[in-house]
Chains A and B, each alone.
Chain A
Amino acid sequence: MESKELIPHLFRTEYSKITAVLCRLFGFEHIEIAEDIASDTFLTASEIWGIKGLPDNPVAWLYGVAKNKAKNHLKHHQVFTSKVAVSLGSATAALPEFDIDLSNQNITDSQLQMLFAICHPAISSEAQISLALRILCGFGISEIADAFLINKETVTKRLYRAREALRSAKIKIEFPNPAELDKRLDAVLTTLYLLFNEGYYSVNHQSTLRKDFCLEAMRLTYQLIENPATNLPAVNALVALMSFQASRFDARIDADGELVLYADQDERLWNAELIAQGKYFLGRASTGKSFSKYHLEAAIANWHTIKEDTPVKWENILMLYNELLILSYSPIAALNRTYALYKCKGKPAAIIEAEKLKLTNNHLYFALLGELYTGIDDAQAKRHFTTALNLSKTAADKQALQKKIDTL
């Protein structure tokens, strides 16, 4: 039925907008009230629209109902403060009738402020992502539970602890002042990138949902670009990076839900529009004097939009990974750099470098060693792939590694 399809889509987009405005109104101490009112609004919508059909303007309907519920809550609260407090002998100020501003500008401002408030270094990144998914992206508890393969109680607990952490850190829902902006923006970009990776690197039954995580991460990053104060080179570089990676969504998973490695992907399934978008934002990011790690990663991703193996591609990628590691170390960058080294200088040289890395807890490390030893010492390669298989966690990774072992 029409309304059943319309509501989930609306819930996602409008929930975050309504919650953001109400959170700002009620403050973080009462964040649950804001969320309750928003949820209540959608509950009412599904009840009434199910019976009476869709209103002419569903969004306006939702906002109208949300406003009324919020006003009723405040009035009720006022009743307590005015009547009950008076009888207890304390003075009260009459709460003026005010309107809850659900204009486009206030929504955008509130969402941006919520984004900064949630992506605050005072709370753990796990907490940030959970809150971002719930409040900023409007995902339901079951959806989050399904996506992370955990149960609903765990999700609820995580969200509860996250809100408590924000409350005790007394974080205000406001735009950071210019002196703090760079540092706070750093935290926001880190969280958005983590959110994107949650969607990108996991392959399970909920793969369409995980794709939504990527799209949500991109949407939130766009909001930063649309705001002049945060339309900075690093943010543009991050959008470029996300666009390049997202362009390969459809090619990464085959009809059986298995992971297709880059070398085996059908280029025709790469999204040309997203690649063009990536190049556009990379261009915009290349202004000014500073560069961030996102610039380097986006430049590398740009090279990967050319599937052909050429010396110039891999020499550039190696150079970029060197710069990236010098700027900011990560195990993944170290592994990818070693792969690029193999492409430039051959397997024996890469093996020497790889064995220095000693990332013995990482299945990708052994997968790389397996790759490098293939053709040089197949028995050793098999041993490494087997170690990788035992360390890997997802079904897709295990399948891909098993395939490697079987072809040796």
Chain B
Amino acid sequence: MKNFLFLFHGNYNTMLERTPDEMQANMQRWMDWIGGIAAQDRLVDRGNRLEPAGKILSGNNVATDGPFTEIKEALMGYTMVKAGSLEEAVKLAVGCPILPGGSVEVREISVM
């Protein structure tokens, strides 16, 4: 068993356009999806969402405001799962509510 990170990429603005009912339904979809992973005993950490505001530090230690609300594939959150292989981990990600507009990056966590 190895640990994998799911990195959710999407558009923050689509979130803002949702009605309360749509938000409720969306939350339920996320709970069902994560619940499904948990039911298979593959959830390691349900993770967190990330605030849209942020900074980027680069070059000569210069900090600039993050463009996260302007780009379509901003990192919006993460979850950690476990699986026997990358293929299995990808299978776990199937049905993620961030699709089809957004995407899930599936990355194996290196073991030192």
Q: Is B101 engaged at the interface, CB distance under 8 Å to the other chain?
A: no
- A245 in the interface, Cβ–Cβ < 8 Å? no
- Among B32, B34, B43, chain A packs the most CB atoms within 10 A around the CB of B32
Residue of A nearest to B40 (CB): A356
Tell me, yes or no, whether A326 is within 8 Å of chain B by CB.
yes
| Residues of chain A contacted by B70 (CB below 8 angstroms) | none
Q: How far is the CB of B78 from chain A (nearest CB, A)?
A: 15
A-B contact count (CB 8 A): 42
- Residues 10-38 of B at the A interface (beta carbon under 8 Å): 28, 31-32, 34-36, 38
A321 touches B36 (CB 8 A): no
- Can you name the residue of chain A whose Cβ is closest to the Cβ of B32? A322
Q: Chain B CB within 10 Å — which of A318, A326, A333, A338 has the most?
A: A326
Answer yes or no: B46 CB below 8 A from chain A CBs: yes
When the two chains form their complex, are residues B35 and A329 in contact, meaning their CB atoms are under 8 A apart?
no
A326 touches B41 (CB 8 A): no
A334 to chain B, nearest CB (A): 4
Q: Measured between C-beta atoms, what is the minimum distance from B27 to chain A in Å?
A: 10
Instruction: Verify A318–B38 contact, CB threshold 8 A.
Output: no
Could you tell me if B40 and A357 are in contact, using CB atoms closer than 8 angstroms? yes
Q: Tell me if A272 is interfacial: C-beta within 8 Å of chain B.
A: no
Partner of A329, one of B28, B31, B36, B43: B43
- The answer to whether A334 touches B46, judged by C-beta atoms less than 8 angstroms apart, is no
* Residue contact A337 to B39, C-beta cutoff 8 Å: yes
- Give residues of chain B (51-74) contacting chain A, Cβ–Cβ below 8 Å: none
Q: Give the number of chain A interface residues (Cβ < 8 Å).
A: 17
Interface size grouping (class) on chain B: 10 to 19
Which of B28, B35, B41 contacts A321, CB < 8 Å? B35
Does B41 contact A322, Cβ atoms closer than 8 Å? no
B31 touches A357 (CB 8 A): no
Is B38 a contact of A325 with CB atoms below 8 Å? yes
Contact of A198 with B by CB under 8 A: no
Chain A residues contacting B40 (CB-CB under 8 Å) are 334, 356-358
- Among A319, A322, A357, A358, the most chain B Cβ lie within 10 Å of the Cβ of A322
- B32 and A334 contact, CB distance less than 8 A: no
Chain A residues contacting B31 (CB-CB under 8 Å) are 319, 322-323
In the bound complex, what is the Cα–Cα distance between A353 and B33 (angstroms)?
11
Give the distance in Å from the alpha carbon of A358 to the alpha carbon of B42 in the complex.
12
Query: Of A326, A337, A356, which is within 8 A of B46 by CB?
Result: A326
Residues in A299-322 with C-beta less than 8 Å from chain B: 318-319, 321-322
Given contacts A329-B41, A329-B43, A334-B41, whether A356 and B36 have CB atoms under 8 Å apart is yes
Residues of B whose CB lies within 8 Å of any CB of A are 28, 31-32, 34-36, 38-41, 43, 46
Pick 14 A–B contacts, CB within 8 A, sort by A.
Answer: A319-B31, A321-B35, A322-B31, A322-B34, A322-B35, A323-B35, A325-B35, A326-B46, A329-B38, A334-B40, A338-B39, A356-B36, A356-B39, A357-B39
